Amino acid sequence: GAVVSQHPSWVICKSGTSVKIECRSLDFQATTMFWYRQFPKQSLMLMATSNEGSKATYEQGVEKDKFLINHASLTLSTLTVTSAHPEDSSFYICSARGTGGNNSPLHFGNGTRLTVT
Amino acid sequence: GENVEQHPSTLSVQEGDSAVIKCTYSDSASNYFPWYKQELGKRPQLIIDIRSNVGEKKDQRIAVTLNKTAKHFSLHITETQPEDSAVYFCAASTNAGGTSYGKLTFGQGTILTVHP
């Protein structure tokens, strides 16, 4: 149980274009999803917290107008990287919390490898 | 906010030896401490977690200890095997209300290499 599906697993786009990444909780409802970014050989850095039906909460230094987050249902959150640039190339991973409150385990998606050329 | 420091950044052991990875955290309100294993290009996988009301937890070859007073916790892997080779991340979160939503703050990661 508690499967999180992320799509696409990899994407290559041209500089200036936008890319949408989907994160779905397949067998549970996730009122809160988290979006992380991981550069090569580095840790996972939280970008934003996605809350169903409300605006996302962004971490300091993350541009909300560049990384658009939509959490329109209890099973789907999307991250859109707008006007992508090569420095946005990274591994983007979503995660969702299952039932059990804030201290229940986070379940991660498979991640999306974004390459901006 | 929370700050999690993890050491060492790399760890090399012989098969069968034990491996220990240590983390410290800054926010005394943190009360949930998971450990993740991440293989190259894949998602982090939860391997063990511990809550603040427990000092130690064990699952087969893996154990985690927590010292709340000192604000540090450690991962212990015994009888290491080559397939244990991966990057390991510690993390900490609070169950605070408001806007924290129990978000995880990760350590920097430890590259564990187990030599046959």
User: Shortest Cα distance from B82 to chain A (angstroms)?
Assistant: 20
Residues in chain A whose Cβ is within 8 Å of chain B: 32, 34, 42-46, 49, 51, 57, 91, 93, 97, 101-103, 105-111, 113
Burial A14-23 (b: 16+ CB within 10 A, else e): eeeeebebbb
Tokens of A115: 């390459």
Q: Hey, are the CB atoms on A44 and B99 less than 8 Å from each other? A: no
Residue B62: pLDDT over 70: yes
Please tell me which residue of chain A has the smallest CA distance to B52: A103
Beta carbons of B43 and A97 less than 8 Å apart: no
Beta strands in B4-101 (DSSP E): 4-7, 10-14, 19-25, 30-38, 45-51, 56-59, 62-67, 72-77, 86-94
pLDDT over 90 for what percent of chain A? 65
Give the nearest partner residue to A43 out of B51, B102, B106, using CB atoms: B106
Residue B29 at interface with chain A, using a CB cutoff of 8 Å: no
Q: What would the mean pLDDT of A7-15 be, rounded to a whole number?
A: 96
**Residue A46: per-residue pLDDT:** 93
Whether B78 and B18 have beta carbons less than 8 Å apart is answered as yes
Q: What is the DSSP letter of A88?
A: G
Mean pLDDT of chain A: 90
User: Which residues in chain B have their CB less than 8 angstroms from residue A103's CB?
Assistant: 31-32, 51, 93, 95, 102
Note the pLDDT tens digit of each residue in A64-112: 999 999 988 889 999 999 999 999 999 999 998 766 666 567 789 999 9
Of A44, A97, A113, the CB nearest to B89: A44
What is the predicted pLDDT for the residue at B96?
Answer: 46
Confidence of residue B35 (pLDDT cuts 50, 70, 90): very high
Task: State the nearest Cα–Cα gap between B81 and chain A, in angstroms.
Answer: 22
Residue B39 DSSP label = -
Q: Nearest-CA residue of chain A relative to B107?
A: A43
pLDDT per residue over B1-34, tens digit each?
889 999 999 999 999 999 999 999 999 989 889 9
